[in-house]
Structure 1
């Protein structure tokens, strides 16, 4: 009888706990009082089941603990989101107050951090993180029990569930504070953990430290959690602004050499990849974008050490590359949900293009930051460095990417490698443009000589722009999509390139001669039609050294996926912005011959930053209505253009290509004229549509300076045509 009574009591406790959980799932309150509900929840958190893990309603003490801990997280999350009805909110506040103040809930949750059952440890970390965030949100106070546990683990805990729970918990709290815009609270919390975090990363990041930990079977998981926390700390340095600048926020840059060593020496491939992606986001100042979910994390002034930290990171990368770091970087086969894909015949396995792109962007952006600094003291040496770094990159890519045997025009590699990853492609193109401008300034050679040399190591800006236009079939509507998008750096790149283009029209026409439509456009369609994540194409080079022949044609698909395509639903807006910025059209002017050397402050632009860069101080104007007939007309034109491109994308060649002989040499005057004419027509159409949108007040910012540049480029074309006619 006694045994039956105990079983009934436990079963009743479990039923009450599950009933309470069902009520909170429907945003209603249980019938019992807040104190009684808190007692039931706490008994579940503690796993108070008499006997030796007695079976209970098909479950066990571990399952009772999971339900209780999960219910705590549910209550705290509902309170933090402020989505409950007022009566239920008051009820939940009372429950949480009893749990924390009377029953010492936080100590019990922290106790579960080192539970043998990893599910319980993870649930405890998740629930306590929500509780900590809620109390920070309400009173700006942090739980001393939680803080003490994390600090203790950071100073001395080895890789394992306890350290993992502390790492995950702090990372989650910092993410919530970053996304919620709680800068002041975030700064105080970071200050409280600063010394322990520095000690933590000093234990794990130096090579002699992490090499000794690799024998621990739990090392890989713990290290990835360390990298997650490191990315959040890096993101916080961009969010907090100049008011907060802690050493823990700068660890990614300070210990960049150690992270590079991990990429080359770690035995775990997923650790290598995670560290590489962290450095890539750090150099682009995009840390945290994966979990920001479209929210604007970064704005305002940056901290005082950012420029020096970026240069330090860039210096670490180029120094490592000079020491043959790329030779030790491992790139495995591309992975899919079903595992690693194997191919038939002699194609070989497809490489992990995420790694290839990350290495390329990291090196190119590092060169963009490093070369201007090095050029101040040694111009000729800087030009030599550019060649050596890029040759090292091409050698690295040649080892892994699609069995390339020989490429004589390396400018094509940017578009071939990045494919549909337009944000990375534009970052690479912008970096190469800056590298080229600095190289031209240091060399002291003529434009055509410099451009010809630039083609030998793949950084001719005219070639890159023409390849971009060819990849979108010279469709000005896609350029418009890029211009109004905030997800890529196209506006900054486009403005810089147009400034250079108006000063070097002869070099542009020479690039049109070098890039023939029959050679390059099909190769770009091939690369852009295939997912670079795992189905990168295979090239076979035959015949003339300047000619590319494909082993097979591609399937029908879109040419490129823009950063943010216009929504196709009926009644949607072409541009959806709350305000625009007026600008002074002359603020965009710079010297035609002098490149922008101080790029460290502008290596990553958000939409407001870009507008201010080209337009001066922003002045808000009234919100525009975009549902006019003119906007619908522009939208329908854009949609019809995209549909036409989709219908014709299965054709292996453009109309102009089909009229060409298969054996035509790439330096055909007819093809050159065609490429030049299509490029000029595309820019002219872009100027016309932007002008119409500006007139109708549909453009998201004042494009006067951009229109002035486009008009100047058209004038260069007309003068060139007139000069050619007179001859």
Structure 2
């Protein structure tokens, strides 16, 4: 090895650069470089080590450091390129053999891994990161090839987790382990390999989290004050939060396959994470910790990088229920101790600083923080009432209302727009705007809270609706405001039903079951929403102030037009999953029925069955949306007495009166549901619907058939 290195050192710096660049281009193009594998390994190794003493002396004074760094950059990058190309298995056989020989010489004969991990603590952040990236790629490659973890890398990380202070070395180890776990999870290697890797780091990760996230609240608060004085602390802590999210995601993806303490650290240290949100002086750290807790309570850890269908295996690990209960208990305990008072919400920022949303100079709030706090509390309350702790009783109902009022006070304190809202049920639409997934989660949680309050409050139905409307969780109001936000467009509800991106199906089924038994409450909600809409002037909602493209508008008509005008609806944001117009008729013979024999109703949740994304691609490629287009045109051609005709006649023939807007809201809502039922029925008949919608259609039919207002009776014929 010494002779080979000496031969390499006789090359000039320019020759080494040229050799490395030529090798990079050749492997990129799928061909072998002119140098032998052994010679190329020599050049790479010398580059990773940096310029030897003789070359540093010969180089010009201003060029010595730059040349050494650049040679290391390209050498470390080339190692990552060679390894990733082998892992992807897209090389020609001759090139693959050439790369295998390079890696054999580098890692077996020259012990390159030791050189790479030494760069973890380099002062140059680029070298430290490139080394971590290259090492991670190599670790994953050899895990796939041999099923063993690199002992040099493992030892380096273990040592850093136990004793290294915040800084470059610990950062590189945290990032590297996070990257290795992500690649294994994305590659669906959740079994023995992942379990072996997690087991190797289980104790050290627990010790690391105990150091950064102490259990005692008073000790944690003091720890944040001490640690934030270090300029490296914020970056290191955020890298730890990234690792915690990957570990949490692994517990969801692997289910019962792997169950280690390190996978539960987010839940076990949830109280300390809440303390970090309130006590840390660095806002980006507060925000990152809060988003981790939000994803944990929503069971969406890893949603930014994991494949959607991977996140839910249907199996839960052994301690899942107790961990979720612990998380919700930590949140509710903190809220009861005035945690919301200490949560900071800065002005939203973008790549230009901060911008104003009002002429009086007020800055728009960070809606990401507002939404995260809201969902964290709502889902915690929902989890709480689903456990044994959520027993019935008037005191329990009062406790739940107290949590909601604490949330409303927090939101109003940080949002001028929400301060102006008199009907609290409107806050969901205003706050979540075009964030459909979060909006559906909030609506589902509020529906659960409402049903629990209804069960244990001891009040009659009308009194329950009044009290819950005062708390902002009347399910009828939420549903009607959702319909308003999509302009009563049934095709958008269809998008929600066939999408895996929201929990709309679960929410919709639960709401329809309640609506079936409470038509009067629905009518009362129509009156309440119409009354709350009319006095408000034309205004831009919080959704627009949060930087979205959707504007929630309410209309105050001129006095002479008040009786004849109707509410201006919220503009619909985002693209539909399918285009309902300008498409050809699909070929039914090319489509496969997704209904399983013996399956009735909506037994398949959005998490079960074949990945919906694959089915959607199949539908789109087959032009299946022509069926929906045909349905829409059929509706427009319906004869007199049809749903659309009834609705239009309601708009034009009825005299102007105070209750007109209430009737319009009811009529449009029922029309929307009726058209949704029609299009789902048609898709089911053609075997184009992605799951069995029998239960959904049955519920829709029952709701429509029980509509009480006389002017809606036409819809049921």
TM-score (norm 2): 0.86
The verdict on how the C-alpha distance between 1:625 and 1:298 changes in structure 2, with shifts beyond 3 A counting, is closer
Gaps of 5+ in 2: 1-7, 215-219, 636-647
Structure of greater relative contact order (alpha carbons < 8 Å, 6+ residues apart): 1
CA distance, structure 1, for counterparts of residue 553 and residue 676 of structure 2 = 34
CA distance in 2, matches of 1:405, 1:625: 45
1:159, 1:218 within 8 Å by CA — same for their partners in 2?
yes
Deviation at 1:235, TM superposition (A): 0.3
Give per-residue Cα distances to partners, 1:464-486, cap 9 Å, x unaligned. 00000011010000000000000
- CA–CA distance in 2 between the matches of 1:567 and 1:60? 59
Matches within 5 A, 1:79-478: 79-184=86-191, 185-206=193-214, 207=220, 208-292=222-306, 294=308, 296-343=310-357, 345-373=359-387, 376-377=390-391, 379-478=393-492
- Aligned pair count? 674
Q: What's the offset of the Cα at 1:515?
A: 0.9
Residue aligning to 1:44: 47
1:694 to 684, 700, 716: 684
Matched, 1:634 2:647: no
| Secondary structure in 2 matching 1:382 | helix
**How large is the RMSD of aligned CA atoms in angstroms?**
3.9
CA displacement at 1:343 relative to structure 2 = 5.0
Q: Using the alignment, how far apart are the partners of 1:161 and 1:577 within structure 2? A: 55
Q: 1:405 and 1:48, CA in 2 relative to 1: closer, same or farther beyond 3 A?
A: closer
With over 3 angstroms needed to count, the CA separation of the structure-2 counterparts of 1:173 and 1:639, relative to structure 1, is: farther
Q: Deviations over 1:600-659 (max 9, x none)?
A: xx9xx64317999xxxxxxx99x9877667642425777999xxxxxxxxxxxx999999
CA distance in 1, matches of 2:608, 2:591: 12
Report the alpha carbon displacement of residue 404 of structure 1 after superposing the two structures with TM: 3.9
Alignment map for 1:512-551 (pairs within 5 Å) = 512-516=526-530, 519=533, 526-527=540-541, 530=544, 532-533=546-547
User: What's the counterpart of residue 33 of structure 1?
Assistant: 36
Deviations 1:512-569 (A, max 9, x none): 11111881799999438726247998999999xxxx9xxxx99x99423368455989
Could you tell me which residue of structure 2 aligns to residue 650 of structure 1? none
Question: SS of 2:451's equivalent?
Answer: helix
Q: Deviations over 1:163-198 (max 9, x none)?
A: 000000000000001111101211110011000000
Alignment partner of 2:424: what SS?
Answer: coil
**What secondary structure does 1:292 align onto?**
coil
Deviates more, 1:266-275 or 1:85-94: 85-94
- Structure 1 residues 197 and 120: CA distance shift in structure 2, 3 A: same
Q: Which whole-Å CA distance do the structure 2 matches of 1:536 and 1:634 have between them?
A: 25
- Tell whether the 8 Å contact from 1:352 to 1:533 is kept in structure 2 after alignment: no
Q: Secondary structure at the match of 1:89?
A: helix
Structure 1 regions of 5+ residues with no counterpart? 590-601, 613-619, 642-653
> Does structure 2 conserve the Cα–Cα contact (< 8 Å) formed by 1:352 and 1:534?
no
Tell me: CA distance 1:193–1:564, structure 2 relative to 1, closer, same or farther (3 Å): farther
Distance, in Å, in 2 between the alignment partners of 1:473 and 1:722 is 19
Tell me which residue corresponds to 2:498.
484
Give the alignment of 1:573-652 within 5 angstroms: 580-582=594-596, 606-608=606-608, 631-635=625-629
Distance 1:19-1:357 versus aligned 2 partners, 3 A rule: same
Q: In 2 relative to 1, CA 540–694 (structure 1 residues): closer, same or farther, beyond 3 Å?
A: closer
C-alpha distance in 1 between matches for 2:428 and 2:538: 10
Give, in angstroms, the shift of residue 448 of structure 1.
1.4
Q: Which residue of 2 aligns with 1:684?
A: 674
Per-residue deviation, residues 271-322 of structure 1 (Å, max 9, x unmatched): 0000000000000000001122656333131101111111110111111111
User: What is the alpha-carbon distance in structure 2 between the residues aligned to residue 542 and residue 399 of structure 1?
Assistant: 26
SS in 1 for 2:484: helix
The more displaced of 124-133 and 92-101 is 92-101
CA distance in 2, matches of 1:373, 1:242: 21
Superposition TM-score, scaled by structure 1 size:
0.84
Gap change, CA 1:58 and 1:167, over 3 Å in 2: closer
Measured in 2, the distance between the counterparts of 1:610 and 1:580 equals 9
Query: Do 2:600 and 2:692's aligned partners in 1 also have CA atoms closer than 8 Å?
Result: no
Structure 1 pair 378/490, CA: closer, same or farther in 2 (3 Å)? closer
In the TM superposition, what is the alpha-carbon distance from 1:127 to its structure 2 partner?
0.3
Q: How far is 1:451 from its partner?
A: 0.7
In the TM superposition, what are the counterparts of 1:490-501 in structure 2 within 5 Å? 490-501=504-515
**C-alpha separation in 2, matches of 1:635 and 1:104:** 64
Out of 67, 72, 80, the position equivalent to 2:74 is 67
In structure 2, the residue matched to 1:560 is 573
Q: Name the counterpart of 1:616.
A: none
| C-alpha spacing 1:449/1:273, structure 2 compared with 1 (3 Å) | same
Q: Distance in 1 between matches of 2:633 and 2:274?
A: 45
Contact 1:72 1:127 (8 Å CA) reproduced: yes
Q: In 2, are the aligned partners of 1:77 and 1:130 still within 8 Å (CA)?
A: yes
What's the counterpart of residue 670 of structure 1?
660
Q: d(CA) in 1 for partners of 2:91 and 2:539?
A: 52
